[in-house]
Amino acid sequence: MGKKVFAERMTARSDESYVVFLIGMRVNNPFAIHRWLPVFLAMPKMLRELHIHRELGFKSYESWFGRTSIMVQYWESPEKLIAYAKAADSEHLPAWRAFNRAAKSPAVGIWHETYVIDPGKSESVYKNMPMFGFGKVGHHTPAIGRLNSATERLQNSKNGSDE
């Protein structure tokens, strides 16, 4: 049947900073499979490594595929994300080097954006959803009382209160 769906309105909370990392690729020439397929196939190896080695700081992800693909990742800190990207023994560095060697062709593009989120600088709501996005890594709690609206969730996270 799948994941449990929470019928009630839920929110996700965090008392600590975290990183939202958006990463993806864009197929500019769908006929140049030999150019974009290796880029596409590199990510599952990295995800497998990150799931096995949770100490690297990776928390969770969601992804969507199309001509432009996007993956939203959640990390403990920017330092851990950057350390992984630069680690000589990681799956990332060989994939990055291979892309740069092949990037002479415009057949495939890659992109990423990194956001450091401090406590009180984000809010979320989920209704009729399984644990999703930050809800899988933050404190998943009912969006009731002082957590009922986006304004209230942002104000209460600044005050450090969920009451």
Q: Are residues 127 and 105 in the same domain?
A: no
Q: Supply the pTM of this predicted model.
A: 0.90
The pLDDT value recorded for residue 140 is 96
- 87 and 24 belong to one structural domain: yes
Confidence class of residue 160 from pLDDT cuts 50, 70 and 90?
low
Average pLDDT score over the chain: 92
Nearest to 119 by CA among 41, 12, 35, 6: 12
Q: Same domain for 79 and 128?
A: no
Contacts 24+ apart (CB under 8 A), 48-57: 48/91, 49/90, 49/91, 50/84, 56/80, 56/83, 56/84, 57/81, 57/83, 57/84
Q: Give me the numbers of helices (H) and strands (E) for the chain, helices first please.
A: 4, 6
Q: What confidence score (pLDDT) does residue 157 get? A: 66
Confidence class for position 159, pLDDT limits 50, 70, 90:
low
Tell me, yes or no, whether 104 and 138 share the same domain: no
Q: Is 97 part of any domain?
A: yes
Considering its fold, how many domains does the chain have in total? 2
Question: Does residue 3 sit within a domain?
Answer: no
Q: Does 39 lie in the same domain as 80?
A: yes
* Structure-token match 């969730």, residue found: 153
Q: Let me know whether 31 and 63 are in one domain.
A: yes
* DSSP designation for 52: H
> Do residues 36 and 86 share a domain?
yes
Q: Closest Cα partner for 131 from 26, 1, 11, 42?
A: 11
Q: 155 and 124: one domain?
A: yes
Instruction: Tell me how long the chain is.
Output: 163
Same domain, 83 and 150: no
| Domain enclosing residue 129, as ranges | 10-14+120-159
pLDDT tens digits along 112-144 = 999 999 988 999 999 999 999 999 999 999 999
Locate tokens 């939203």: which residue? Answer: 72
- For residue 160, give both structure tokens: 């450090």
Same domain, 44 and 63: yes
pLDDT band at 14, cuts 50/70/90?
very high
**What backbone torsions phi and psi does residue 103 show, to the nearest 5 degrees?**
-70, 0
Q: Do 100 and 36 fall into the same domain?
A: yes
Same domain, 129 and 112: no
